[in-house]
Structure 1
């Protein structure tokens, strides 16, 4: 089965993206892991992924890295060569694969061995055994096998329903919704809903909406849209509003980020 045929299945299972990368001949340096509403799994096919940032005491090396939701950037340190596969998981996908709420991974990067050593070994092995053009498909099919296995966490765990409904609405609206709107839809008080939401996701619904909206703007900028147009499309008041969000989430301006990351993988 080709990767394009897997996309609908992986999306329904909570796998939002699977990207294989093979970069050689670049100058040694760093690039940024920008906050997003996805949990990230990176399978490194060289000596390991060197990472610094939230929850880490310094540069830490990972074989298969599982990075939770975070509000400030991670820094990826490299020697000019980067080979591996990057996987994006929705919070529902984390539940289905690992049987735990995203809140347990907030501002943390850990080795997947800590959560599921069998999956970590299988995922790394199948990707390493695949020819370069088939690595993304090998990753996707491995994860689908785990999601579909009735003996895995997918058959035993589900998110808190009120929190999940609020998350889904935030994503569906591109983050352009208010806590009052979410509260009205849920039928619960703002305090009740926020408590359930934080327990599940590790962040409040207002912060989640900001993160989803920022991610939409980031996608537009990476696609070549101007900063003004990206801000308008994502629902920011103006370019200055988006720039302020960049200062918090990326620790720099949009223009500086685009110049810095021009030749880096997304």
Structure 2
């Protein structure tokens, strides 16, 4: 989890680069923060950003936000199986948690420090996780293999490893994590590429190191997930703070 605070009164308009995790965002400022999806729909107060959600932007002024990234395995439990429904969309947390979402946000807003907010959020996640649904062990294994191999893994080999047919793995994986195994692998590989680009590496070098057939395939995936060219993704503000903001369990970043 990380805290983000914009000390300037200038409008904030940040493109959210897709990430292989389910994101929970809580507005703990003055209520001006809006998470806007690719179709222009706004979510305020608290929102769930699904894996591979594209065209998402954070808009506001003098913003304070607590953001949590959950692996899809944890999100499945914390959101009681509803995380898959978010898929590539942005949905209000109230729709998934009911009044608990509003009560949690009130506690976060009333907290006297970021450390207290991190502790409140962590306790809330632990409580939700206790009674939440657990993904199939086979699905969990396949997700971890995809992450371990940075997306360079064949779906048929994953299915063989867990003793399932390709079709059944495809069905169960999508039902529980919101993406097909192939799409999940593409997202994990894109994430690796995006961060290499943000680190200043040339697109041709990134394509070769991450395992793309050539630079045009890298360009295609970057456009598909981020709606921008590799050059634009390389300077995306959201990526610029990633290595700092997510280095520790709880971190505050001023923008």
TM-score range, shorter chain: 0.7 to 0.9
Aligned counterparts of 2:23 and 2:183: Cα–Cα separation in 1: 19
**CA shift digits 1:20-45 (9 cap, x unpaired):** 11113264352211222111111112
Residue of 94, 102, 110 corresponding to 1:129: 110
Within-5 A mapping of 1:27-46: 27-28=10-11, 30-44=13-27, 45-46=29-30
What is the TM-score with the length of structure 2 in the denominator? 0.82
Deviation at 1:145, TM superposition (A): 1.8
Identify if the C-alpha distance between structure 1 residues 127 and 143 changes in structure 2 by more than 3 Å, giving closer, same or farther: closer
Aligned counterparts of 2:4 and 2:239: Cα–Cα separation in 1: 12
Aligned counterparts of 1:103 and 1:260: Cα–Cα separation in 2: 27
Aligned counterparts of 1:147 and 1:183: Cα–Cα separation in 2: 31
Aligned counterparts of 1:148 and 1:52: Cα–Cα separation in 2: 28
Deviation at 1:156, TM superposition (A): 4.4
Deviation at 1:85, TM superposition (A): 1.5
Aligned residue for 2:35, secondary structure, equals strand
Structure 2, unaligned runs of 5 or more: 243-255
Aligned counterparts of 2:228 and 2:132: Cα–Cα separation in 1: 42
Within-5 A mapping of 1:110-259: 110-131=91-112, 134-135=113-114, 137-149=115-127, 152-259=128-235
Aligned counterparts of 1:87 and 1:96: Cα–Cα separation in 2: 15
Aligned counterparts of 2:239 and 2:163: Cα–Cα separation in 1: 47
- Is the contact between residue 52 and residue 187 of structure 2 (CA under 8 Å) also seen in structure 1? no
Identify if the C-alpha distance between structure 1 residues 253 and 159 changes in structure 2 by more than 3 Å, giving closer, same or farther: same
Aligned counterparts of 2:196 and 2:116: Cα–Cα separation in 1: 28
Aligned counterparts of 2:214 and 2:10: Cα–Cα separation in 1: 35
- Is the contact between residue 99 and residue 154 of structure 1 (CA under 8 Å) also seen in structure 2? no
**CA shift digits 1:156-187 (9 cap, x unpaired):** 42112222221121111111101122122111
Deviation at 1:155, TM superposition (A): 3.0
- Is the contact between residue 76 and residue 84 of structure 2 (CA under 8 Å) also seen in structure 1? no
Deviation at 1:67, TM superposition (A): 1.4
Deviation at 1:105, TM superposition (A): 1.4
Aligned residue for 1:30, secondary structure, equals strand
Matched, 1:66 2:48: yes
Aligned counterparts of 2:135 and 2:192: Cα–Cα separation in 1: 24
- Is the contact between residue 13 and residue 59 of structure 2 (CA under 8 Å) also seen in structure 1? yes
- Is the contact between residue 126 and residue 138 of structure 1 (CA under 8 Å) also seen in structure 2? no
Identify if the C-alpha distance between structure 1 residues 123 and 40 changes in structure 2 by more than 3 Å, giving closer, same or farther: same
Aligned counterparts of 2:80 and 2:56: Cα–Cα separation in 1: 25
Identify if the C-alpha distance between structure 1 residues 220 and 118 changes in structure 2 by more than 3 Å, giving closer, same or farther: farther
Aligned counterparts of 2:45 and 2:180: Cα–Cα separation in 1: 31
Aligned counterparts of 2:31 and 2:173: Cα–Cα separation in 1: 38
